[in-house]
Structure 1
Amino acid sequence: MKAEIITIGDELLIGQVINTNASYIGKKLSETGISVARIVSVGDSEKDIIDELKYAFENFDVVILTGGLGPTHDDVTKSAICKFFNTGLVLNEDVLNQVKEFLAKRGRTELNEANKSQALVPEKAKIIMNYWGTAPGFLFEENGKIVIVMPGVPKEMMGMMENFVINYLSKKSTGSVIKQKVLKTTGIPEAYLYERLKDTVEEIEKFCKIAFLPSALGVKIRITVKAETKEKADALVEEAEKKIREKVEKYIYGVDDEELEMVIGELLVEKGLKIAVAESCTGGLIADRITNVPGSSKYFERGIVAYSNEAKIQILGVSEELIKNYGAVSREVAEAMAEGVRKISGADIGISTTGIAGPTGATPTKPVGLVWIGYSDKNETFAKEFRFGDDRLENKQRASQMALEILRRKLLGIEI
């Protein structure tokens, strides 16, 4: 089966919103054995939606649309769909009740006309319930073709995909199974990673495809396998992953949707340890990432943003003489910050960052992008120097990533 994905919204065409829906849907369709042959974005124009839908319906087995199902004047997908399938709108009581329940949970007991309009659905459509918002999705089957329409809000679309669409399409698909797995690495540039894996990649690409996807936080290695059955695909992915890990295990911190802060949290809970963080150049980003993980109160004791020299001295107990002699961006101060936050908090581990995020603040010996990351536990205190580049926000991201990676390696006993 071949598919087209149509994402709808002026915001996509003018670059105001990144089209994450298309990549997510494409990945999920591939995993069910449906080949995505075309991805198109169209604006909030009824005519443009109908024209693209006509092309997709004539040329592909499955068409998935997202966006334009809201209650405002610029949400025209529902009317376009009705005209294409020559059907009218009817009030669906199940959807209306779901809208009422959804709004009631948010303290809204009175429905206005816009809310009620969400329960008007195409008469010919099968309804896909939306438990994450108010706009339902629609499923049409006609002349052997499948058309699925979902909201553009990523959370709502993903909920429908996971709760209904993937299972439904899996039963319809008769093609080969496409399986993907992403290994997430950090602390090694793409060129160096490829150099270590070059021979391995040549070997495993006889039965799979390997892609290197670099970003500010590291390099993702995507394994893609196509096989006759899910079991065969799983086995081939496992074989490829094993060979890759044999060469670069040290740098792999997670797979697929795992984030480094999630991995760190699991390790800290497993070992019964608590952590405290003292941040300067990262401005609280490390603490933010750690506390993004549910249950982080089990291991995160506190986070301190000691941005000024006075804060480092008054809160963390860093020696004024130390700053005067070595500067705030130095090994000595990073170590003192990590040790200081560990001691005042009573945590088992202290992590610190101090650096020059840019674009100003550099000196001949301390360029923009210079960051010292400190680590302290009851047995040792040390700091590592990094040069992350000249982009302020990327420097903060990379510094937070490397601080968490140093922590991961220490917890696992891996050489830093």
Structure 2
Amino acid sequence: MYRFRFHVVSLILVVLCGGCDSKIDRFDPNRLYAMTLERSRSMPMDAALSDTSTAIDDLFGTPDEPRWPVDLLEESVAGLVDSKRLSQAAGPVLSLQDGTQHGLYREHCAVCHGLSGNGNGPASLVQDPYPRDFRHGVFKWKSTERNAPPTRDDLAERIRLGIAGTAMPAYPLLSNKELDCIVDYVIYLSIRGEVERELLAAAVDEMGYEEEPPEEELRLRVPSAEADESLTEGEEVTLEILGDIVGQWAEADEFVLDVPAPPHGKPTASDLAKSIERGRELFHGQIANCVGCHDENGIGQTITLDYDDWSKEYSSRIGLTPSDAEDMKPFRDAGAMMPRRIIPRTLKDGVFHGGGDAETLYRRIVVGIAGTPMPGIDVVETESNRGLTENQVWDLVRYVQSFATQSSEEQR
């Protein structure tokens, strides 16, 4: 089945390449989030969406001519994205005489992740899980704390290596410069999407937008280059939201979860077997309770009625039923994907989406997986029912890794 989906995606890529050099005037506004706010706040969103869209276009430009608002950012964070790399990643696909490739995002990423990074590209319908919607700024596979953005290295690794067990391919042939360009563009789309979402929420929650825009002083706008130091309240809020979100991305490296060295270094065969057995007990125990979702043998067939955060936002969190096609139809028409139930990872296959190395698994256990029901767990100094010690986490890591060893042996 996976191979079939891969061939369908490949066919779509071939068909769409004929349009990779087309001009695109602007990004689509985030009508989906506007509809979600309209439902949850019982407030009309047309005026807010109109002013927000204008502000976002002024800040970030268009798909063919992206803008990084360096002139509106503090010097310490303005260099997060390089305008030249951004320009090379954006726009139509073309090759210069010196061999430089332009339109890298549209060539390699847009067919799945969509032009605006909304995860709703033409190939998304045949993929499970769906491609990531960058506009939330929430990423599953990263080295940072749960609520922090990924680092540049996190994004580069996922692009270079792909995501095992999903339709996200590896791109080993990209040059380092091309990889940097795409990383910049993903960060750009994520920040653009987050700023748009925050402006929409601020419009109705703080600035008094209703059926009509509020008074001029409160309208969300980007100050013009000719403006003096006296900004309107709406301009101040716009710049504050922009600065806060860019600042969070710029500080991502500070929120990398440090992984302690495993006890006793590289264990002997006997020590490893004992560690795996302790990990098995933790896996089935009440504190970690991994078995509650991943089953006794790691086959991940526990029936869950939960969904990821992306789809819960426009369904259960606003009182709608994710599985009800009629409930979802207006949101589907606005670009939403039909929600799918979360299925716990099948550990027994030994395939881990975000990587199966020890450090990565340690972070998954401690931090959990952002945007999903997979929780983290507290790391405690001494063994107790409040969490796991570092050594216990390492035991659990080794037990989880043992599933991959079992899988390899079964395939021999």
Larger radius of gyration: 1
TM-score range, shorter chain: under 0.3
Structure 2 length-normalised TM: 0.24
Greater strand fraction, Structure 1 or Structure 2: 1
Structure 1 length-normalised TM: 0.24
